[in-house]
Amino acid sequence: MYYFGTSLNSKGYFLWICDGNNLCRTGIRYDDFWRDEFCPETIADDKKSRKKGDVFYFRRKKYTICYIEGSWNDTRNGTKSVFFTTAKVTFGELSLKIMSIPVCRKIIQQMPFDVRWGLDAEHIEKMNELIKNND
User: Domain residue spans in the chain?
Assistant: 2-134
Strands (E), the chain: 2-6, 13-19, 22-25, 55-60, 63-69, 80-85
**pLDDT higher for 23 or 122?**
23
Q: What is the pTM of this model?
A: 0.87
Distance of alpha carbon 74 from alpha carbon 109, whole angstroms: 14
Q: Is the model's pLDDT at 33 over the cut of 60?
A: yes
Give the residue-averaged pLDDT of 31-53: 85
Q: Is the model's pLDDT at 65 over the cut of 90?
A: yes
Distance of alpha carbon 71 from alpha carbon 80, whole angstroms: 5
Residue 67 near residue 44, CB atoms below 8 Å = yes
State percent of the chain over pLDDT 70: 90
Question: For position 46, what pLDDT does the model report?
Answer: 86
Question: For position 135, what pLDDT does the model report?
Answer: 56
| Closest listed residue to residue 55, CA positions, set 124, 128, 135, 132 | 124
Question: For position 122, what pLDDT does the model report?
Answer: 72
Q: Confidence band (pLDDT; 50, 70, 90) for 66?
A: very high
Q: Confidence band (pLDDT; 50, 70, 90) for 108?
A: very high
Upper half-sphere CA count for residue 73 (Cβ side, 13 Å): 11
